Amino acid sequence: LASDIAFSTSSRRLKALHGIRSTGLHEYAVRVNPLFPVAQLIEAELRASKHWELTEEGREIAEKGSHEARVYNAIPPNGITQGDLMKLPSGKVGFSKAMSNKWIHIDKKAEGGPYIYKGIDSIKDEVKGKLLLVQQGKDSSLDNKEKNELKKRKLLSEVTLKTYWITKGSAFSTKVIKQETELTPEMIANGSWRERKFKPYNFDALGIIPECGHLHPLLKGHRVVSQSA
């Protein structure tokens, strides 16, 4: 990791370099980051950015087409009964959208029950097209109204991406040297303290609270009896 930091880089770039499969270096860097600033090996600045991602249903539509388009494509030239159409996987969800788009029309007086027919010769599946743009990282070509409409249909979700901007620290090194936590008499005697790296003291930390006070004589007697029982 350290050898890849020339001057500065981002956790996303390190993720690509090291083939980390998590949702960015993000979980990886979040775990590692607190360790390095303590040793002043690197400086890591947290940065957050928002982007749009397809939901599970959105990915399905990007591959197979919108529910309304699937409903339209399922209707044969001579039509289909409304009952049979509703049995299709996208029937219930896509019917109302296809009707509002005027892609299909219904003949309620048809023999054998209401019949559904295609209303136009061909369609353009704009929902699928928009989702493909987002999938390709081109969501900036959609306006907020279009994104919010897809979000309302639970096809898109806005995700906050956290990354770290990483630069070399004042004690940067490609080798991790263990820092000593206390000065021992042996170090003073042999002079090795001069070559050791010491962990900075945290003077704001609270010390160990000393035990104080004494048990009441009756409680002492109770303890003796309970221990001997």
Q: 43, 39, 31, 44: which is closest to 181 by C-alpha?
A: 39
Q: What domains can be seen in the chain, in order of their start residue? A: 56-159 (1.10.10.2330)
pTM over cut 0.95? no
The values of phi and psi at residue 47, to 5°, are -125, 140
| Paired strand residues for 105 | 117
- 75 Cβ contact list (under 8 Å, min separation 6): 85, 104, 116, 117, 118
Where residue 5 falls among pLDDT bands split at 50, 70, 90? Answer: very low
Report the share of the chain in percent with pLDDT over 90.
47
* C-alpha–C-alpha distance, residues 37 and 186, integer Å: 29
The full length of the chain comes to: 229
DSSP 154: T
Give me the sign of the Cα torsion angle 142, 147, 153, 154.
positive
On whether the CB atoms of residues 71 and 52 are closer than 8 A, the answer is no
What average pLDDT score do residues 116-145 get?
94
Lowest mean pLDDT among 10-19, 149-158, 220-229: 10-19
What average pLDDT score do residues 204-208 get?
81
What average pLDDT score do residues 184-188 get?
92
> pLDDT tens-digit profile of 17-37?
555 554 444 555 555 555 455
- 90 Cβ contact list (under 8 Å, min separation 6): 67, 68, 70, 71, 74
